[in-house]
Amino acid sequence: MLSGMKVGKNFWNGAEWYLTSWRSADDPSPGPYRRALDTSGLPDNIVWEGDAKTYRAGPWNGRWFSGIPEVLTYTNVMEYEMVISPRETTYSYITKPGGPLTYIVLLDTGVVRRLVWDADARAWQTYFQGPRDVCDTYRKCGAFGLCDAGAASTSFCGCLRGFSPASPAAWDSRDTSGGCRRNVKLDCGGDGATTDGFLLLRAVKLPDAHNVSVDRSTTLEECRARCLANCSCLAYAAADIRDGDVRSGCAMWTDEIVDVRYVDHGQDLYLRLAKSELPPPSSPQAFPTAPVVGGSVAVVVVIVLVLVLIVIRRRRGSTISGKLQPCLSLLSFFFFFSSFQFLRLLITAAYANIHSTLDVPGARSCALSFPCIEHQLSPAHSVTSSSAPAPIVPYVDLLTLREATGYFSESNIIGRGGFGVVYEGRIPDGRKVAVKRIIQSPLLDEGGEAFMREVEVMSKLKHGNLVQLLSYCKDGNERILVYEYMKNKSLDLYIFGEDPKLRDLLNWERRLEIIRGVAKGVAYLHGLNEEVIHRDLKPSNILLDDNWKPKIADFGTAKLFVVDQTNPTLVQTAGYTAPEYITERYLTLKCDVYSFGVMLLEIVSGRKNRNTPTLLSDAWESWNQHRITELLDSAVAQPEPELLFELDRCVQIGLLCVQQSPNDRPTICAVVTMLNNSSSQIRAPKRLVFDAMTEPRLREADHSAKEGASSTSNGSHTIYLS
């Protein structure tokens, strides 16, 4: 579909315009998929396979299709137009003068893509793809179900409040297509009287709007009253959001609610529930107005009393002013106190209204500009935030550690790295621990001051995706750190190992969870007031606990090997080093982002970047040519379609992380958001020019250069026609 073309229907002559897929990638005959504009109810772009819906863009809300918030980023280069009249209902877009070339295509797989020409890369880049993830699968969660793509893979679907799985056994087996049933029947008498209320669902793609009742001339308040008066009305929403914060028009659902999901910049949906199923009045979802009204009434009463006393004082003169003075003082106190309480209630109500998505199961703080930290983790935001210093981890004497490790026996070695040897040990209380004996090096400070500073910092870091430091030892030249023991050892054993059984243990769901967990851990380190740059992110530094939860190790050790913190010369592990660090020794948070991106692509592919010098460029080619399955680890069974969407998106994120320029890489906080919220927009990565093959040449050129230097010195609109 090119700029200026339109899709939709002409009701006068019966003409219809829609997209049809090819039969296959090399067979242009008509295929099984078509993308057509549903003109009944609220207009919606829908992909069909025969007579079955497979994907909806979401109802048109006056500015965009509610399930595709990405269009908000295109308004500077194109305009969107929806024409709704007795003659036709059509949708089109127009590229603005000077804008890039773009088109929409329906692939033979049923996937819709908007491609934009990147003049710099001289390639077509994908700016949007739908379905984008598992929650875009039509009716994924059945009737009255709600899909959250940011939830764990085992719990994408949940029932709306007031509903329960129609078949608990089917849901237990992860078959959610049967949907949910209402717990308590609605109260709707013949006279229209009812005790029902509405639950506010924020930031959702509106349900399938085929045959909904639409009235664009009414207000949202009138819509609520109409819905309550109609025993068949199950939910309502604004039909038009063109006027910014003012929502107008009325869309009422009288059939089952299907295909609802969370989405960035989603809309408000008001779901009808029995009184007993509604949140308590104090809940932000229950529209708390009584406290504010009560507070305002109290303020008004106090003001009236103060004015009355002032009038009395003026009329009777100063002879009784001494008697009135205590009353006036007391009333003044109550006036200011009531005003303060009223203001506090207003702020609280506004804050609760903004944060109401947190009361919806599965909603994350990402939607509230805190994308890096989940509520259940609640880590300290700063290692120096407390007024009292956090206690340092206990000291352990050298003899105890020698005995715990069999005097550092070779048989107890469970890992080796650039910073030392890790031993399995058993301390006197019977617990297994990991004992890291840091290698003797002239880079270590003789007095151990830097070591102790790092131990103090590491002991304060608390996060579910960091290996916990338990104790330390500094005895002479010995520097030893004691960590919690990780039963499943390091990640590299499973993604690079030759044993196919070990590789198969990390199925795609586990690999995706590991990627998300590592990103959260790095985001925690980067988000501290005293930013911690890991400096050596790689699979061997990612440990796995009993439940395969990833935990980052060595997040403080690398810093001990920097000669000068203002001009770091740490040699990072080859294959994970950002190009700007190789050539300029420029160490920033984006160096960690680069290392994370390499590791992400290794986890997905099962290939080591150092052993496969073209891994990064191969990944870009596979993603750009839409052949992502060629990149995936062949030791793991091919993913189901819903997981393939996630993996494709994951590779795209990894490619953004390994961009040549640090400015082109996202922050790790943005990475967490993209990984956990599949409706968030991801820009297309540029073609890669740096990989493990070019890295040695960069290092050599950098070394030669240094030797030489030392010797010498919003655009959318809707047209309604009656």
User: How do residues 122-143 score in pLDDT, each as one tens digit?
Assistant: 888 888 888 988 899 999 999 9
pLDDT at 318 over 60: no
**How many contiguous H segments (helices) and E segments (strands) does the chain have?**
15, 30
Q: Which of 46-60, 573-587, 647-661 has the lowest mean pLDDT?
A: 573-587
User: Is residue 315 very low, low, confident or very high in pLDDT (cuts 50, 70, 90)?
Assistant: low
State the pLDDT at residue 588: 86
State the pLDDT at residue 446: 59
Please give the residue range of the domain that contains residue 338: 290-363
Residue % of the chain over a pLDDT of 70:
73
Does 480 map to a domain?
Answer: no
State the pLDDT at residue 162: 94
State the pLDDT at residue 2: 92
State the pLDDT at residue 16: 94
Average per-residue pLDDT in the chain?
A: 79
**What pairs with residue 697 in β-bridges?**
none
714 alpha carbon, distance to own chain's centre: 24
Catalytic residues: 536
The residue ranking higher by pLDDT, 449 or 252, is: 252
Question: Known binder of ligand: residue 460?
Answer: no
Cα dihedral 145/136/241/253 (nearest 10):
-40
Q: Kindly state whether residues 226 and 105 are assigned to the same domain.
A: no
User: Is residue 302 very low, low, confident or very high in pLDDT (cuts 50, 70, 90)?
Assistant: low
Give the contacts of 368 (CB within 8 A, at least 6 positions apart).
Answer: 354, 355, 357, 358
Q: Kindly state whether residues 532 and 587 are assigned to the same domain.
A: yes
* Encoded tokens for 208: 């399938």
Does 244 map to a domain?
Answer: yes
Distance separating alpha carbons of residues 657 and 665, to the nearest angstrom = 5
Q: Kindly state whether residues 557 and 679 are assigned to the same domain.
A: yes
Residue 714 and residue 62 in contact, taking contact as beta carbons nearer than 8 Å:
no
383, with CB counted inside 10 A (0-12, 13-18, 19+), is: buried
Q: Kindly state whether residues 104 and 172 are assigned to the same domain.
A: no
User: Is residue 119 very low, low, confident or very high in pLDDT (cuts 50, 70, 90)?
Assistant: confident
Q: Kindly state whether residues 643 and 573 are assigned to the same domain.
A: yes
* Encoded tokens for 411: 């048989």
pLDDT at 650 over 80: yes
308, with CB counted inside 10 A (0-12, 13-18, 19+), is: exposed
pLDDT at 112 over 50: yes
HSE-up (13 A, CA, CB side) for residue 369: 1
Does 474 map to a domain?
Answer: no
Q: Are strands 716-720 and 78-84 parallel, antiparallel or unpaired?
A: parallel
Q: Which of 19-23, 70-74, 474-478 has the lowest mean pLDDT?
A: 70-74
Sign (positive/negative) of CA torsion 205, 207, 210, 216? negative
DSSP type of residue 257: -
Q: Kindly state whether residues 272 and 343 are assigned to the same domain.
A: no
Domain stop point among 330, 363, 396: 363
DSSP type of residue 383: T
User: Is residue 495 very low, low, confident or very high in pLDDT (cuts 50, 70, 90)?
Assistant: very high
State the pLDDT at residue 279: 82
- DSSP states of 524-563 as a string? HHHHSSS----S---GGGEEE-TT--EEE--TTGGGGG-S
Burial 462-471 (b: 16+ CB within 10 A, else e): ebbbbbebbb
State the pLDDT at residue 444: 55
Q: 3-state DSSP helix/strand/coil percent for the chain, to nearest 5?
A: 35, 25, 40
Q: Phi/psi at 44 (nearest 5 deg)?
A: -150, 130
* Encoded tokens for 328: 């006036």
Q: Which of 268-277, 459-468, 524-533, 708-717 has the lowest mean pLDDT?
A: 708-717
State the pLDDT at residue 716: 64
**What pairs with residue 124 in β-bridges?**
117
Q: Which residue has the tokens 């080796």?
A: 416
Q: Which of 226-230, 249-253, 315-319, 592-596 has the lowest mean pLDDT?
A: 315-319
- Mean pLDDT on 569-583: 75
State the pLDDT at residue 334: 55
Tens digits of residue pLDDT in 15-31:
999 999 999 988 999 99
Residue 621 and residue 651 in contact, taking contact as beta carbons nearer than 8 Å:
no
State the pLDDT at residue 368: 28
- Nearest to 598, CA basis, from 655, 523, 541: 655
The residue ranking higher by pLDDT, 63 or 680, is: 63
State the pLDDT at residue 235: 96
Does 479 map to a domain?
Answer: no
State the pLDDT at residue 362: 31
Residue 58 and residue 67 in contact, taking contact as beta carbons nearer than 8 Å:
yes
Residue 469 and residue 481 in contact, taking contact as beta carbons nearer than 8 Å:
yes
Distance separating alpha carbons of residues 193 and 184, to the nearest angstrom = 17
5, with CB counted inside 10 A (0-12, 13-18, 19+), is: middle
Give the contacts of 656 (CB within 8 A, at least 6 positions apart).
Answer: 597, 664, 665, 666, 682, 683, 685
Q: Compute how many other C-beta atoms are within 10 angstroms of the C-beta atom of residue 686.
A: 18
Distance separating alpha carbons of residues 560 and 557, to the nearest angstrom = 6
Give the contacts of 344 (CB within 8 A, at least 6 positions apart).
Answer: none
Domain stop point among 214, 245, 278: 278
Q: Kindly state whether residues 72 and 175 are assigned to the same domain.
A: no
Sign (positive/negative) of CA torsion 591, 592, 598, 601? negative
Total structural domains within the chain: 4
The residue ranking higher by pLDDT, 626 or 293, is: 626
Conformational region of residue 400, where left means phi above 0, alpha means psi within -120 to 50, and beta covers everything else: alpha
* Encoded tokens for 167: 């078949």
191 alpha carbon, distance to own chain's centre: 46
**What pairs with residue 95 in β-bridges?**
78
pLDDT at 599 over 90: yes
State the pLDDT at residue 259: 95
Conformational region of residue 711, where left means phi above 0, alpha means psi within -120 to 50, and beta covers everything else: alpha
State the pLDDT at residue 59: 93
State the pLDDT at residue 687: 87
User: Is residue 200 very low, low, confident or very high in pLDDT (cuts 50, 70, 90)?
Assistant: very high
State the pLDDT at residue 685: 92
Name the 3-class secondary structure at 342. Answer: helix
Q: Cα–Cα distances in Å, from 127 out to 71, 105, 683? A: 9, 12, 6
State the pLDDT at residue 49: 95
Q: Which residue has the tokens 């029995």?
A: 274
Distance separating alpha carbons of residues 152 and 334, to the nearest angstrom = 51
State the pLDDT at residue 288: 35
State the pLDDT at residue 667: 92
* Encoded tokens for 588: 């920033």
Does 284 map to a domain?
Answer: no
* Encoded tokens for 533: 């740059």
State the pLDDT at residue 560: 45
Q: Kindly state whether residues 150 and 127 are assigned to the same domain.
A: no
Tens digits of residue pLDDT in 327-344:
555 555 555 555 555 554
Give the contacts of 319 (CB within 8 A, at least 6 positions apart).
Answer: none
Q: Kindly state whether residues 525 and 612 are assigned to the same domain.
A: yes
State the pLDDT at residue 713: 33
Does 599 map to a domain?
Answer: yes
* Encoded tokens for 353: 């209204």
Q: Which CATH number covers residue 519?
A: 1.10.510.10
Alpha helices in 25-167 (DSSP H): none
Tens digits of residue pLDDT in 208-248:
998 899 998 889 999 999 999 898 999 999 998 876 556 88
Q: Which of 65-79, 180-194, 261-275, 342-356 has the lowest mean pLDDT?
A: 342-356
Does 497 map to a domain?
Answer: yes
Q: Kindly state whether residues 154 and 20 are assigned to the same domain.
A: no
State the Rg of the chain over Cα.
Answer: 31
State the pLDDT at residue 165: 94
Domain stop point among 318, 333, 363: 363
- Nearest to 531, CA basis, from 368, 669, 375, 377: 669
- Nearest to 668, CA basis, from 524, 470, 562: 524
Tens digits of residue pLDDT in 365-420:
333 233 343 333 333 333 433 333 444 789 999 999 999 999 999 999 988 765 67
Q: Kindly state whether residues 167 and 311 are assigned to the same domain.
A: no
Q: Kindly state whether residues 152 and 269 are assigned to the same domain.
A: yes
Residue 230 and residue 252 in contact, taking contact as beta carbons nearer than 8 Å:
yes
Distance separating alpha carbons of residues 615 and 599, to the nearest angstrom = 11
The residue ranking higher by pLDDT, 300 or 421, is: 421
Name the 3-class secondary structure at 602. Answer: helix
The residue ranking higher by pLDDT, 463 or 690, is: 463
User: Is residue 507 very low, low, confident or very high in pLDDT (cuts 50, 70, 90)?
Assistant: very high
Does 468 map to a domain?
Answer: no
Tens digits of residue pLDDT in 58-67:
999 888 888 8
- Mean pLDDT on 502-528: 91
Q: Which of 30-39, 473-482, 678-687 has the lowest mean pLDDT?
A: 678-687
The residue ranking higher by pLDDT, 604 or 536, is: 604
Question: Where is mean pLDDT largest: 195-209, 268-282, 328-342, 702-716?
Answer: 195-209
